[in-house]
């Protein structure tokens, strides 16, 4: 059995920032599905928000205005005290990353460059061309290496060990050696990212299964607001690769088949820079009403950046140009980009407070797998990178305080019991005679995209839940083609699929019960926001019958009273 003071699961920005903040004082292990610089944080393109007021049009910007924009963007479901903390921290975080060597783009005077992003009253998104996540991730990884953080690459956590309200460690799958390894710790941190691959059409990497959320949920840790699924307006057709919001932040247009900039109908003031939920629904409406374009890869709308000129595209959007050329043979300097809305981000996740702590003693979560909640019903672009680093940092501070104040001794007995349980689970999968995991996963993701998508209705959500229950039954007999655990990705996929099904179930149940439209959750049969009944968070726990057990808790409101959301 391996032992560390602190186990951090996830090698992206949240996990690395937590590790950097703790490794000088404690014995820290960081477990990552992939090499840390291949974590999904690297895919974030457009930027990180902070009220630096460097842009000529943002001289009056402040953390208070950033807070208001975030709360309004959340459709008033965000916990406002947590949003205030994040927005106060934002300038400190950006300057910290700069001082650690992050190569931000610059204005001519040498200050960090900022550009407009959707739902923001000021241009406050700091960036590095269109590879912002890439440079932030490499900066933090270099910092972690310099401080000697112990990294276990290609180690997959397959179970969380909790007992009597305390976390004792994890069970990990060492893929390279084919070993199931028990690991004990005083504190465990999940920074495992989102659940994009629960959906058929997603901008997320294949590693984004959401299994971290599912593992915590199945260990009895409550999850929050799972029904709030963000769809990004501009995914490249065919591959669904992200076409960053920076395309529109730099001045790109959305065009339908009548050559109209149709956002004038939906958000006349902010146009293409309205919040993502509004732009995604607007694009889908144009497509559904016959004003889209047809392509063998699907129906789409055009994202036109040609008028920006070759120099600006090459300077500020070089990655976007390369992706378009490599995957569709289209040069956006010369042709519009065919795009469609795709699942992009999970506002919901493991229920935590503003210190990243859960109700389970010694278990913390940060980044996209966690729900603080700073994003509420809809996240603003540029706030995800901020969320990961801020709460990665704050989790490290909180964990240090926790360990200073508590004498924690992890118990090996529940770890060994969980190890036996997981070994039995794997043995059963290897001996089963049913379906392979890929076919079950294909039906699960199609079900979610079809029935729990951008627009939702009661009958479709009922169908989604019925399908998930059938998929759960099929999963009980899931099989793999090889019993050898060494580098057995199919076995790993089979284990993760069980957690993905649970995540999907919480999303669908939450969406079915929430009889209103708020942010990313758009019910055709309940088209208006209902603050009297639904200004509250959805909490899900596994029930005795195996289905999600739902309760609710109040949203924290400090200074911003809910009002109609107009752009």
Span 421-434, pLDDT tens digits: 999 999 999 999 99
Sorted by sequence, the CB contacts under 8 Å of residue 337 that are 6+ apart come out as 234, 236, 243, 247, 302, 303, 304, 305, 320, 324, 330
Tokens of 293: 């374009």
pLDDT of residue 144: 95
% of the chain at pLDDT higher than 70:
100
Query: Is residue 276 flagged as an active site residue?
Result: yes
User: Greatest CA span in the chain, whole angstroms?
Assistant: 67
- Please give the distance of CA 251 from its chain centroid, rounded to a whole number: 26
Distance separating alpha carbons of residues 371 and 349, to the nearest angstrom? 5
Q: Would you identify the CATH topology of the domain 232-342?
A: Flavocytochrome C3; Chain A, domain 1 (3.90.700)
Are the C-beta atoms of residues 236 and 323 closer than 8 Å to each other? yes
Q: Would you identify the CATH topology of the domain 415-534?
A: Methane Monooxygenase Hydroxylase; Chain G, domain 1 (1.20.58)
Q: How confident is the model at residue 160 (pLDDT cuts 50, 70, 90)?
A: very high
> Is 114 in a helix, a strand, or coil?
strand
Distance separating alpha carbons of residues 32 and 8, to the nearest angstrom? 9
CB-count burial class (<10 Å; 0-12, 13-18, 19+) for 334 = exposed
pLDDT of residue 334: 97
Are the C-beta atoms of residues 326 and 366 closer than 8 Å to each other? no
**Angle CA(19)–CA(25)–CA(30) in degrees, nearest 5?**
25
Buried b (16+ CB within 10 A) or exposed e, 153-190: ebbbbbbbbbbeebbbbbbbbbbeeeebbbbbbbbbbb
Distance separating alpha carbons of residues 204 and 209, to the nearest angstrom? 9
Sorted by sequence, the CB contacts under 8 Å of residue 557 that are 6+ apart come out as 76, 80
Q: How confident is the model at residue 299 (pLDDT cuts 50, 70, 90)?
A: very high
**Which residue spans within 301-407 are E strands per DSSP?**
301-304, 337-346, 349-351, 363-365, 370-371
CB-count burial class (<10 Å; 0-12, 13-18, 19+) for 64 = middle
Q: How confident is the model at residue 174 (pLDDT cuts 50, 70, 90)?
A: very high
- List every span in the chain annotated with CATH 3.90.700.10: 232-342
Sorted by sequence, the CB contacts under 8 Å of residue 431 that are 6+ apart come out as none
Distance separating alpha carbons of residues 482 and 522, to the nearest angstrom? 43
Tens digit of each residue's pLDDT (9 = 90 or more) over 479-514: 999 999 999 999 999 999 999 999 999 999 999 999
- List every span in the chain annotated with CATH 1.20.58.100: 415-534
> Is 347 in a helix, a strand, or coil?
coil
pLDDT of residue 510: 98
The arithmetic mean of pLDDT across residues 362-379, rounded, is 97
pLDDT of residue 154: 94
How much is the mean pLDDT over the chain? 96
Q: How confident is the model at residue 307 (pLDDT cuts 50, 70, 90)?
A: very high
Global pTM value: 0.96
User: Residues 17, 143, 197, 276: which is the catalytic one?
Assistant: 276
pLDDT of residue 452: 98
């Amino acid at each position: 059995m391996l032992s560390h003071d602190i186990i951090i699961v996830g090698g992206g920005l949240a996990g690395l920032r937590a590790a950097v903040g703790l490794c000088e004082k404690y014995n820290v292990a960081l477990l990552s599905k992939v090499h840390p610089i291949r974590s999904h944080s690297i895919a974030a393109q457009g930027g990180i928000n902070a009220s630096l007021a460097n842009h000529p049009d943002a001289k009056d910007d402040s953390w208070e205005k950033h807070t208001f924009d975030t709360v309004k963007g959340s459709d008033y479901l965000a916990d406002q005290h947590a949003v205030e903390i994040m927005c106060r921290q934002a300038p400190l975080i950006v300057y910290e990353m700069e001082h650690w060597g992050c190569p931000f783009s610059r204005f001519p005077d040498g200050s960090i460059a900022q550009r407009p992003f959707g739902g923001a009253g000021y241009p406050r998104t700091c960036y590095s061309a269109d590879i912002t996540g890439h440079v932030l991730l490499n900066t933090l990884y270099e910092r972690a290496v310099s401080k000697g953080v112990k990294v276990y690459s290609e180690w997959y956590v397959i179970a969380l060990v909790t007992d009597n309200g305390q976390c004792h460690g994890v069970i990990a799958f060492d893929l390279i050696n084919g070993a199931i390894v028990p690991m004990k710790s005083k504190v465990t941190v999940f920074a495992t990212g989102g659940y994009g691959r629960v959906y058929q059409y997603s901008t997320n990497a294949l590693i984004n299964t959401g299994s971290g959320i599912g593992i915590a949920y199945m260990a009895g840790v409550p999850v929050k607001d799972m029904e709030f699924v963000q769809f990004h307006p501009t995914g490249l057709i065919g591959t669904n690769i992200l076409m960053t919001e920076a395309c529109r932040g730099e001045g790109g247009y959305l065009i339908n088949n009548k050559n109209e900039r149709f956002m004038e109908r939906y958000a006349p003031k902010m146009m293409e820079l309205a919040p993502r939920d509004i732009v995604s629904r607007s694009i889908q409406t144009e497509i559904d009403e016959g004003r889209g374009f047809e392509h063998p890869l699907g129906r789409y709308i055009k994202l036109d950046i040609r008028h920006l000129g070759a120099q600006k595209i090459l300077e500020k959007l070089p990655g976007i140009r390369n992706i378009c050329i490599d995957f569709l043979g289209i040069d956006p300097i010369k042709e519009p980009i065919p795009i469609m809305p795709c699942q992009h981000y999970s506002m919901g996740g493991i229920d935590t407070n503003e210190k990243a702590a859960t109700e389970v003693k010694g278990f913390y979560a940060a980044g996209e797998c966690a729900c603080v909640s700073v994003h509420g019903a809809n996240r603003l672009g540029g706030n995800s990178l901020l969320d990961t680093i801020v709460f990665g940092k704050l989790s490290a501070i909180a964990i240090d305080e926790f360990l200073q104040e508590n004498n924690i001794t992890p118990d090996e007995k529940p770890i060994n019991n969980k190890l036996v349980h997981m070994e039995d689970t794997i043995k059963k999968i290897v001996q089963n005679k049913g379906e392979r995991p890929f076919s079950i996963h294909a039906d699960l993701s199609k079900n979610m995209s079809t029935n729990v998508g951008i627009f939702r209705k009661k009958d479709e959500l009922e169908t989604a839940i019925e399908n998930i229950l059938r998929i759960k039954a099929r999963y009980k007999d899931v099989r793999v083609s090889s019993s050898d655990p060494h580098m057995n990705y199919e076995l790993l996929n089979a284990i993760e699929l069980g957690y993905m099904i649970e995540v999907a179930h919480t999303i669908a149940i939450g969406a079915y019960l929430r009889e209103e439209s708020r942010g990313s959750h758009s019910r055709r049969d309940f088209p208006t926001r209902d603050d009297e009944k639904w200004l509250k968070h959805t909490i899900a726990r596994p029930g005795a019958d195996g289905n999600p057990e739902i309760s609710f808790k109040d949203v924290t409101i400090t200074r911003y009273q809910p009002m109609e959301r107009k752009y």
